[in-house]
Chains A and B, each alone.
Chain A
Amino acid sequence: MIPPILNASGCLDALTAPSVVERLDAFVTKTVTPLPREGNPPPRIAETESGMLNSIGLQNPGIDAFVSDNLPRLATLGVPVWVSIGGFSANDYALLCARLDDCADVTTIELNLSCPNVEEAPETAAELVAAARGATGKPLYAKLSPATWDVAESARAVAAEGADGLSLVNTIRGLGFEHTRRQPVLARGAGGYSGPALRPIALACVYACAEAVELPIVGMGGIASGRDVEDFLSAGASSVALGTILFSDPWAPDRLRSELEAAGAPRAEDVAGQVPESVV
């Protein structure tokens, strides 16, 4: 089956690349925080042999400017809008969800519970989901980190607090060195590692969580081909998101659909009932 294809949060700016967004089944925003953030100093990205490191640092205009300026423009693109939110306490998540709860243009809220590039909230993922759940009736997807010894346990915990789905996975922390200066290549030191190297790690997380909970899963992590999509579906994902591949191939959503179709996959709309409505 050709599943819904989304972008991974932080990997696409709908306002600079609307023609890419139109090729997606849903658009996921960069993470929005309560206050505006300038993000981390450059260098922010570096390539490795089999992936890339980034430390963007959640650069975003803050929830007020997002709701008043960005959201109305996103709504004109004709694609369901998922808003990724991030904060530094359970209160932040509750506040952000409350602000978005009455925004009709927001389809789903994705909780970024695992950004490797900023200070994290002290509460557990489950406590953050509970705070968000108390503030909104919109579908909530919990985006979990692969850097945990038992991601299925995290999945069960966020499911128990009312998450409607899982986004698996976020980047994993990594570090690269600039040889001549003998310094980390990113200004902030470690960053989030993504791309092909993340794929087997992400597949393991999807597989474990699909066994553990009944929730729909958006699978992501190094997807670059139709075959990769099939692997994520086999592992238990019901939709997929593209990240690093969009940087080298903005039209990857179309290419992946063609590859899946060539491999004999029917389109999602032809397989009624297979995809939960909350996904797109």
Chain B
Amino acid sequence: MNARREQLRAIGVEQIGPYALLRLERGELDPGVPGQFFMLEAPGRVLPRPMSLCRAPHGELQFLIDPIGPGTRALCSLAPRDAIHVLGPLGNGFDLNVRRPLLVAGGIGIAPMPYLDEALGGASAILGFRSDHHAAVAELLPGASVVVEPRFVTELLPDDPGDVLACGPEPMLEAVRARVPTAQLAWEAPMACGYGACYGCVVERDGRYMRLCVEGPVLQDAA
């Protein structure tokens, strides 16, 4: 494990639609590769929460959080100067060696896309959301094509989509994989540790369980 663990201070939390953008001082942590993640101490909870990096402006690490449970709500309630322990970067991020990148994201799956877009020097993007309220977060990726349910991101996938890099709910990722078998897909699973210790975050691939934290979270089927 090459990750570092440090106590980082919050700069602030910005509301974007139903989501929150948590801004932390970067400390000595390496922002890593887009698609990698960090374990964020959730105040008052037993386990930290895995979050992929959303943006990495100078001196900061920014995480987009959907406050769906006690841990994510605690993170969204951090006040400026509150400090939390952060471990990372962890896992395998996106392979940036792509010729024609197309970013595809659904809902909170937009989280790693702004940092990925920046690392790629700008890329086309298709975003899907369940409501206009959720779609407000598309502002983090100016110029992206946006669909709102009942329309799905797969409707906007061109016949020759190029190199697809996707993150979103499992049904969306499965639909993207069905259309583009070589797509790089960033998956999600509950995690306790984030560094391969607990065996809690397994997903089944080809009849065996793999730990998403060390073998993923970005997975790609053989081309």
Contact = CB atoms under 8 A, between A and B. Distances in A.
Contacts of A39: 199, 202, 209
B197 A246 contact: yes
B190 A247 contact: no
B109 interface: no
Nearest to A60: B199
Interface residues of A, number: 35
B87 interface: yes
A50 B1 contact: no
A30 B196 CA distance: 12
A47 B46 contact: yes
Contact of A19 (B1, B39, B85, B193): B1
A43 B1 contact: no
A42 B85 contact: no
A247 B1 contact: no
Contact of B198 (A41, A43, A48, A54): A54
B197 A247 contact: yes
Interface string A1-42: 000000000111100111110000000001000000011011
A47 B195 contact: no
B128 interface: no
Contact of B199 (A17, A18, A56, A248): A56
B48 interface: yes
A42 B197 contact: no
B135 to A, nearest CB: 24
Contact of A248 (B47, B189, B200, B201): B47
Majority SS at the chain A contact face: loop
A114 B191 CA distance: 24
A244 interface: yes
B219 interface: no
Contacts of B202: 39, 42, 44, 59
Nearest to A16: B196
Contacts, number: 96
Nearest to A46: B190
A62 interface: no
Interface string B204-223: 10001100001000000000
Nearest to B1: A17
B130 to A, nearest CB: 16
Contacts of B203: 42
Contact of A250 (B1, B41, B204): B1
Nearest to B208: A38
B213 to A, nearest CB: 9
A54 B200 contact: yes
B190 A249 contact: no
The 8 closest A-B pairs by CB, nearest first: A16-B196, A45-B200, A247-B193, A247-B192, A56-B199, A17-B1, A44-B200, A47-B47
20 contacts: A11-B197, A12-B197, A18-B1, A30-B199, A38-B208, A42-B189, A42-B201, A42-B209, A43-B189, A43-B190, A44-B199, A45-B198, A52-B47, A56-B198, A247-B48, A247-B198, A248-B46, A248-B47, A249-B5, A250-B195
Given A38-B209, A248-B46, 8 more contacts: A10-B199, A18-B1, A42-B200, A44-B199, A45-B190, A48-B46, A54-B200, A59-B209
